[in-house]
Amino acid sequence: MRNLPDVKQQARDAAHDAAPWIVRLARLGYASKGVVYVTIGVLAARAALTTGGQTTDTRGAVERIGEQPFGQAMLFVLALGLLGYALWQAVRSVLDPEGQGHQPKGVVKRAGYGMVALAYISLAVFSFTLASRGRGPGSGGGDGTDDWTARLMNQPFGPWLVGLVGLGVLGVAARQLWMAVRKDFLKWLDLGSLDARTRQGVTRLGQIGIAARAVVLALIGWFLLQAAWTETPSRAGGMGEALRTLERTPLGPWLLALVSVGVIAYGLYAVAQGRYRRIRVA
């Protein structure tokens, strides 16, 4: 029976051999993620300022992409890209090519990469199913945040677990806001080939986009804390519910428009990551 170090070494060797393909898929993945977020932002902006838009989540955005001309072909490419992004996050989690290490902080980060991988695998499967069958499982049903919250709530100490997840999401939101202010995300980008004006443009996209995403994550974390406190899974909500909450505030249209511009910026920043992100597999 193989021991764990041998399995890890074999995984590293396999990743090293497949590195060129993993890098290509990861770059397509960042671009695909960007398309999804730009779609969410554009729909939210239209809902805030005009008619014909709607606040939605990642699955809703995928559905709208599928409704466009050549939508089926677009969804197949999108599914491949999202799967590539999930693969890259799994590599970051398991093989740790970026050297996060085994200390508590590094372990938490790597666990987060693993959770992101699972989320994007689910979205990739949804995209592929929608493309191949014309409809996806749970079509139009949201991102399922209240569903997994209900399952977690039914476990021993369930409300406490949901509350811990909510606190964790709030922590991620705070960290991302700090990252946007300090421009820490630039360490992952290789912008040396760009002129100063273009570098500044990418930096501004990152700052505005990551800050807007932090706002959305903070709302999601708050929803989870409410669900834990009241032991009501339906109080949980994902990105779509966060945007709808902004829309219902006294300054709703203007606040939603502001955040939607940030979400669009985040999507464009993700597309830029597809080109300029430093990606080292092994």
**Highest-confidence segment of 88-102, 132-146, 227-241:** 88-102
* Average pLDDT value for residue range 202-211: 97
CB atoms within 10 A of CB 161: 15
| Residue 102 phi, psi dihedral angles, 5° rounding | -110, 10
Convert the pLDDT of each residue in 42-74 to its tens digit: 999 988 887 656 788 899 999 999 998 888 999
> Which residue, chain included where needed, has tokens 């590599």?
91
Average pLDDT, the chain: 87
Convert the pLDDT of each residue in 109-125 to its tens digit: 899 999 999 999 999 99
pLDDT at 210 > cutoff 70: yes
Query: Residue 146: what pLDDT?
Result: 60
More confident: 101 or 177: 177
* Average pLDDT value for residue range 226-232: 85
- DSSP line for 113-148: HHHHHHHHHHHHHHHHHHHHHSS-TTTTS---HHHH
Q: How confident is the model at residue 231 (pLDDT cuts 50, 70, 90)?
A: confident
Q: How confident is the model at residue 176 (pLDDT cuts 50, 70, 90)?
A: very high
Q: What is the rounded CA–CA span in Å between residue 243 and residue 234?
A: 16
Q: What is the rounded CA–CA span in Å between residue 42 and residue 261?
A: 8
Radius of gyration of the chain from its Cα atoms, rounded to whole angstroms: 19
Query: Residue 156: what pLDDT?
Result: 77
* 3-class state of residue 277 by DSSP: strand
* 3-class state of residue 101 by DSSP: coil
Q: What is the rounded CA–CA span in Å between residue 276 and residue 270?
A: 10
CA atoms within 13 A on the CB side of 92: 24
* Displacement of CA 31 from its chain's centroid (Å): 12
Q: How confident is the model at residue 141 (pLDDT cuts 50, 70, 90)?
A: very low
CB atoms within 10 A of CB 159: 17
* 3-class state of residue 236 by DSSP: coil
* Displacement of CA 180 from its chain's centroid (Å): 16
More confident: 102 or 144: 102
Q: What is the rounded CA–CA span in Å between residue 50 and residue 42?
A: 11
pLDDT at 139 > cutoff 60: no
pLDDT at 95 > cutoff 70: yes
pLDDT at 180 > cutoff 80: yes
> Which residue, chain included where needed, has tokens 């001309």?
69
Q: How confident is the model at residue 198 (pLDDT cuts 50, 70, 90)?
A: very high
| Residue 96 phi, psi dihedral angles, 5° rounding | 55, 55
